[in-house]
Amino acid sequence: MSAPEKLSQDSSRSPSPTWLRGAPEVASVRDEALRTASARLTEPRPPDDRRTRVAIVIPARNEEVAIGRLIEGLPHDSTELRFRAFVCDDGSTDETGAVAAARGATVLRHARNLGIGAALTTGFEAARAWGADLFVQIDADGQHDPALIPDLLEPLRLGRADYVIGSRFLSPPTGLAPVRRAGVRFYTRLIRLLTGLPITDVTSGFRAFRAEAYDRLSILSQRNWAVEVTLRAGLNYLTTEEVSAPYLPRVGGRSQFAFRRLFVVYHYRALQQFFRAYAAARPSGPSRADLAASSRMPGKVGSGIKP
């Protein structure tokens, strides 16, 4: 049974509760961004256009140096795929939004900084309004190669997976600071323990998933989203794969990990959101053992992991 069939067959599981998408004051900022861009989101699908719509969602804050080069490197439309870039400018104080718009991206602007989780949610909601079949997320800082997007999409297009992570650890993770590498490994092992997913990079900002999976990946945290979303993928039995996506040096801007205090706060927030998400995301459907016994186990990592 293919991944899409598994996902459809398991659709009786309740979708994410709406409160997972943020507090009212956060939602109001996101809603305003979507309302402002609403006229640009509608694009009727011509009857003779059977191409798969791929939305590339890019959360960005103060990335005017990197964002233009990233957008220019995104894949072009083909006979099978229709691409569209959605940039959520999360309260930037520079020209991030203007640079992105000049490169042809659909820009959604938060009036104030909400965090990467909120920016992703705004981008995903815009992509869903457009009618995306597949969602890609990629960081705006140039640390992921957009030329690898076809590799990220391949397991989805072949029906092997519902959710794909671009792992920085399937090749030597050069460039990552040792303390950051240790943090990634800690959270990765925690997720592996709780979900059984033998993944290698739980905090990667380079991922793709099916539109049908979106409601099971809704983001509770506004800032520390990666661990939570991967946890939800595992607990909701989404078939998950990894492909190799080597780490690249940041292009301009400043990382949140550049500040010692914020680095400490990151782990506090991440663990807090992790336990909240775990309590909310525990599935009520069949257990992993039950699924394995019935010869369908959609929560495992597929055998097609690329070296």
DSSP output for 70-113: HHHTSPPP-SSEEEEEEEEEES-SSSHHHHHHHTT-EEEEESS-
Rounded Cα gap, residues 96 and 82, in angstroms: 24
Query: Exposure of 204 by Cβ count < 10 A (0-12 exposed, 13-18 middle, 19+ buried)?
Result: buried
Has residue 47 got a pLDDT over 80? Answer: yes
Question: pLDDT of 113-167, one tens digit each?
Answer: 998 989 999 999 999 999 999 999 999 999 999 999 999 999 999 999 999 999 9
pLDDT value of position 24: 76
pTM for the structure as a whole: 0.81
Given a contact cutoff of 8 angstroms between Cβ atoms, the answer to whether 182 and 260 are in contact is no
**Which residue type does 44 have?**
P
DSSP 288: H
Given a contact cutoff of 8 angstroms between Cβ atoms, the answer to whether 107 and 89 are in contact is yes
Given a contact cutoff of 8 angstroms between Cβ atoms, the answer to whether 132 and 199 are in contact is no
pLDDT value of position 92: 97
* Segments making up each domain of the chain, as ranges: 21-293
Q: Return the SS3 of 59.
A: strand
Rounded Cα gap, residues 56 and 77, in angstroms: 12
- 252 Cβ neighbours under 8 A, 6+ residues apart: 63, 64, 65, 66, 141, 142
Q: Among 3.90.1010.10, 3.90.550.10, 3.20.20.80, 3.40.228.10, name the CATH number for the domain at 21-293.
A: 3.90.550.10
Instruction: Out of 81-85, 169-173, 221-225, pick the least confident.
Output: 221-225
Given a contact cutoff of 8 angstroms between Cβ atoms, the answer to whether 99 and 176 are in contact is no
Segment 225-229 mean pLDDT = 82
Local confidence band at 266 (pLDDT 50, 70, 90 cut-offs): low
